[in-house]
Structure 1
Amino acid sequence: MKNLVIATRGSALAMWQSEFIKSEIEKKHGINVELKSMKTKGDIILDTPLAKIGGKGLFTKELEESMLRGESHIAVHSLKDVPMVFPDGLKLAVVTKREDERDAFVSEKFASFDELPKGAIIGTTSLRRKMQLLMLRPDLEIKNLRGNVNTRLRKLKEGEFDAIILATAGLKRLNLEAKFIVPFDKDKMIPAMGQGILGIEAVDEDSVLEKIEFLMDEKALIESTIERGFVRVLEGGCQVPIGVNAEVSGETVKINAVVGLPDGSEFIKQSKVIDKKEYQKAGEELAKEFILKGAKELLKRAEDMV
């Protein structure tokens, strides 16, 4: 294979991610890698919450169709946006080394989450973030915030929000700044499945897969396998209030998980530590524990609230 084509969204963060992978492949193999930029439905419809228009698969469908047509070979996603099921002929081939997976409190007015006054307006699209913010502070007003990272920061600077919540990884990758950026403790604000990891979806062909296999990170593989297993068994999809984070430390893995209603009024939250060797089934087993506590019924009610 002489040339490799990466299908990518056109946002600044998506382009950074694709440019990074392009550079790594070119350095490793000395081949030419091209970027094929396109808009997805999720990039075009910005006035409606994702949960109402189909969830995060909206950010991957057009890229997948490009690969299936033979126009491109791989697509680089934020793993938290990657659905559980892939079309025939495509697969999640690689997960890369994890960047800081924490959510970040971002504000121009207040130095920390604890300093927010009663009734402060917080911007986020994520039902997971909304749920956990209201679990911590039921007095807050949560407003929908769509658009790319730069657009969200602009709305913050223009005074539409007292604070917004963004992924720390995206802020770091784009070298973006605001007056106050404070990452949340992962025990307080459990991140999304796969947050901070890049997932490379690829055409299921050896000539393509062998070009990207060197990018696989074992720690990220263990953590994401647990997190994706948890969400898959709960059948939660990307747009219901589920937080799950696995962190490898030596020979053990700490797992934090939460499931609940978007308004934070009811939730199930649990932490556990497992032996690293048990990682392949750990997410699924934790999900079954949550199901016994009523997680499926809670998520059904959460969907009805959207």
Structure 2
Amino acid sequence: MSRAVIYERFGGPEVLDVVEVPEPHAGPGEVRVRVKAVGLNPMDWMIAASPQSAGRFGVGLPAGFGSDYAGTIDEVGAGVEGFTEGDRVYGGAIAKAAADYAVLPAAQSALYRLERTPDGIDDEVAAALPTPGLTAAAAVAAIGPGAGDTVLVGGAAGGVGVLTVQLARLAGARVIGTASPGTFDFLRHLGAEPVAYGAGLVDRVRALAPDGLSAAVDLHGTETAEVALALGVSAERISTIAAGPNPPGGVRATGGFEAMPADLEAITDEILAGRIAVPIAARFPLEEIRAAVGLQAGRHAHGKVVVTL
């Protein structure tokens, strides 16, 4: 037997249970990963909370939980090429990650991603990267920041935000990041100039950037996109990941699905070079999955929430 997080009804963290399940094994074309760490994302609890969200990913009840994982391959099915037992790997497995073992196809697909973990990247950092890394890379690529740009990043202290800030800074841009006041020192450490979100944001941004903004990335709702439009930023230089299918003013809706295959490798290269940091806000054992998801869903964590096994 092995452990897995399972829910049998949709809802908040209270529906998540750590249960014993039969130990899974790799079939033809599959590998089994002994999971060491799981990086939590808003997508995870949204799927668990809503049958509509779950349906979009083909998830039905009862369901497993979590997507981003890191660990070690301990079984390789027939016909698999390019991976062997003992390989350290990370990636995504929709509704399968929060378990002792994740069995997944070795071939990439929309629901599964399997990458070798570079030497020098530990499992917690690797588990924090797949969804946030691909999303941040796509959001930044959509606006094309460079030297001389002033970029407003909405939701800068979250798991996607910390990578977005650093990627934009590496491109040479000045970055202003919206967040709660308690995260301001944290954001300054990452190279962003913090500003409080909420009513009056237009005036606060204008005071910080009297010469204007040139681009923006909205990682939470539409507030940042609307502020950027009000301050004269052209819609084609504003990207958003959470505004739904019809973002305001014709701004660019994007997400990890638009990222390039090499984007995660580029981010891990920057981590190994010391130019990108991956802040881990909190670590929880698998038995405390409800507390971990509650913290992540509250959207006040500074960086990533990781579950360890």
TM-score, normalised by the number of residues in structure 2: 0.29
If asked which structure has higher relative contact order (CA below 8 Å, sep 6+), I would say: 1
Structure holding more helix per residue:
1
